[in-house]
């Protein structure tokens, strides 16, 4: 624009700039500035309405709340600041009186009083958080299905008497460690929520046997139940055996236990999470492999941070789970290179393998076969040599995402061979790889045109390379 041209008015400028550009510019501003800016023009108000979707109400916000609710009807979530002043019933009545058609989440956690006298309704609300609410009475619980008729998520973490009126819930968070109620009361609450899909609970040694018996009978009555998250403080063999024998239709099982039993947790779940347990601490007998039936259901197995996990246990698992697609062995310090070979041989559908921070040092052999399904391979923080990297990528030649961050022993020689081997490579990371020269980045961009993102080594400077459609990210 020449200096003689008249300056554009704000209205003219908003018409010339694309809506997406305005959204990008305004997204850098604080939410506190939105109301003032929205007064400048109708177009800015429309743009800010798309950005201002979350509101936290504090004592300072209360005087301006009616104006905010009227001006920004596209709110999707509202959170009340802990122990906010004023009457909670009046505040909820005020919010409910405004037209908020897509308000899906309401956070009332840490409020001092309940809402038993609330007279309004929140028809669109799907998530209600009542965590640690003081003086939440039975009347408050009875009001929930009336005031929030379409709830799907409810957190009643500090409720001492769960409601018997909630019929349409999909997800209920009821941590057993925080409830002042016994196993029978929890089981009754489960039976009264027939659409329950996910359940999380801590089982302590004092309630272990009674609790799990009550829970299994209750969970078996649910038609939609698929996800179970257990934290078990006592020895878990009997509990997990009971779950396995009950035949629960699980798709996801997370177990947090000190002493999980190998046989009992191989259930018909597709996702099993057992991070940071003491799996493998007990002696694994050779003949126990005969007792493990082939399990075609398990597809995702998360075993990270199991310090006692050894080769024998991992080999057992992969031998009876041939349909594994995602295996996480990160931070398992007592497994060797033989485990990698066993996974590649046994798991013909493996597509995501995480070996980060394991003690894999070198390979004294060639694999002699390909793993065509492996797409994501995480080798970060491994003390592997160039030869080991070459051997792995020669077998896993279809890898698209390769993480070599903090692999301090690899050099440009190993990197070149890995890039040559992986002809479909799209993302590669050399974060903190001190021995990888910076000039390898330009070579990779030209050699492997499929690359879309490179996390460059420390010596690399972004100004030294042309990306040719590849996103280059500096390690600095």
What's the residue count for the chain? 476
To the nearest 10°, report the CA torsion of 13, 18, 21, 22. Answer: 50
- pLDDT reported for residue 166: 40
pLDDT of residue 15: 53
Fold type of domain 361-476: 3.80.10
Structure confidence at residue 211 (pLDDT): 66
CA atoms within 13 A on the CB side of 434: 4
- The answer to whether residues 302 and 272 touch, using CB atoms and an 8 Å cutoff, is yes
Structure confidence at residue 197 (pLDDT) = 74
Q: What is the pLDDT of residue 195?
A: 67
Model pLDDT, residue 39: 73
Long-range interactions of 279-285: CB distance < 8 A, separation 24+:
279/303, 279/306, 279/308, 279/309, 279/313, 280/306, 280/308, 280/309, 280/310, 280/313, 280/334, 281/308, 284/310, 284/312, 284/313, 284/316
Label the pairing between strands 54-57 and 77-80: parallel
Residue 300 to residue 297: CA distance in whole angstroms: 9
CA proximity to 303, closest of 256, 362, 251: 256
Q: Where are the domains of the chain?
A: 7-52, 361-476
Q: 């030209």: which residue's tokens?
A: 446
Q: Which residue from 286, 279, 293, 285 is spatially nearest to 322, judged by alpha carbons?
A: 293
Walk along the chain (476 residues) and give the pLDDT tens digit of each residue.
Answer: 444 444 445 555 555 556 667 767 776 666 667 767 777 777 777 777 777 888 899 888 888 899 889 888 989 999 998 878 778 889 999 999 999 999 999 999 888 777 878 888 899 998 888 877 776 665 676 677 788 887 777 776 554 444 434 433 444 444 433 334 456 656 766 776 666 677 766 665 555 566 677 778 888 887 778 888 776 655 555 666 677 777 777 888 777 665 555 544 555 678 888 888 877 776 444 444 446 678 888 899 999 999 888 898 898 888 888 899 999 999 999 998 888 888 988 999 999 999 999 987 655 556 678 899 999 999 999 988 998 899 899 999 999 999 999 999 999 999 999 999 999 999 999 999 999 998 898 899 899 999 999 999 988 876 544 566 788 887 54
Tokens, residue 311: 């080769």
Q: Which two tokens stand for residue 26?
A: 């305004």
Evaluate whether 77 touches 105 at the Cβ level (below 8 Å).
yes
């Amino acid at each position: 624009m020449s200096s003689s041209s008249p300056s554009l008015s704000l209205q003219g400028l908003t018409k010339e700039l694309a809506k997406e550009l305005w959204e990008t510019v305004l997204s850098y501003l604080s939410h506190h500035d939105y109301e003032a800016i929205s007064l400048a023009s109708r177009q800015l108000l429309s743009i800010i309405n798309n950005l201002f979707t979350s509101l936290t109400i504090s004592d300072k916000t209360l005087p301006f709340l009616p104006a905010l609710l009227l001006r920004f009807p596209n709110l999707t979530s509202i959170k009340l600041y802990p122990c906010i002043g004023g009457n909670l019933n009046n505040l909820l009545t005020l919010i409910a009186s405004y037209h908020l058609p897509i308000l899906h989440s309401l956070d009332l956690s840490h409020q001092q009083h309940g809402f038993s006298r609330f007279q309004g309704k929140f028809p669109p609300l799907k998530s209600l958080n009542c965590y640690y609410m003081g003086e939440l009475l039975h009347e408050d619980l009875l009001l929930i299905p009336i005031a929030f008729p379409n709830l799907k998520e409810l957190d009643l973490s500090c409720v001492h008497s769960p409601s018997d009126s909630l019929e349409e819930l999909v997800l209920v968070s009821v941590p057993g460690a925080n409830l002042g109620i016994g196993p029978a009361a929890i089981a009754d609450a489960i039976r009264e929520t027939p659409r329950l899909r996910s359940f999380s609970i801590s089982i302590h040694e004092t309630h272990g046997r009674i609790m799990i018996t009550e829970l299994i009978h209750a969970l078996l009555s649910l038609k939609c139940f698929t996800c179970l998250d257990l934290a078990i403080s006592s020895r878990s063999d009997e509990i997990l055996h009971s779950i396995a024998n009950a035949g629960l239709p699980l798709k996801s099982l997370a177990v947090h236990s000190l002493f999980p039993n190998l046989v009992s947790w191989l259930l018909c779940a597709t996702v099993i999470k057992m991070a940071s347990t003491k799996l493998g601490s007990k002696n694994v007998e050779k003949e126990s492999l005969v007792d493990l039936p082939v399990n075609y259901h398990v597809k995702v197995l998360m075993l990270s941070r199991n310090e006692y996990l050894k080769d024998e246990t991992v080999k057992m698992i992969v031998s009876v789970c041939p349909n594994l697609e995602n295996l996480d062995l990160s931070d398992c310090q007592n497994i060797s290179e033989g485990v990698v070979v066993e996974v590649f041989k046994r798991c013909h559908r493996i597509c995501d393998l995480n070996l980060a921070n394991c003690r894999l040092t070198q390979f004294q052999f060639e694999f002699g076969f390909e793993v065509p399904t492996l797409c994501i391979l995480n080798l970060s923080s491994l003390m592997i040599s160039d030869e080991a990297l070459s051997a792995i990528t020669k077998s896993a030649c279809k890898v698209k995402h390769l993480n070599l961050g903090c692999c301090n022993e690899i050099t440009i020689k190993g990197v070149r061979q890995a890039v040559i081997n992986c002809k479909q490579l799209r993302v590669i990371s050399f974060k903190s790889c001190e021995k990888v020269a910076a000039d390898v980045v330009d070579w990779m961009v030209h050699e492997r045109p499929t690359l879309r993102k490179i996390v460059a080594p420390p010596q690399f400077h972004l100004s030294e390379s042309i990306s040719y459609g590849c996103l280059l990210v500096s390690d600095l």
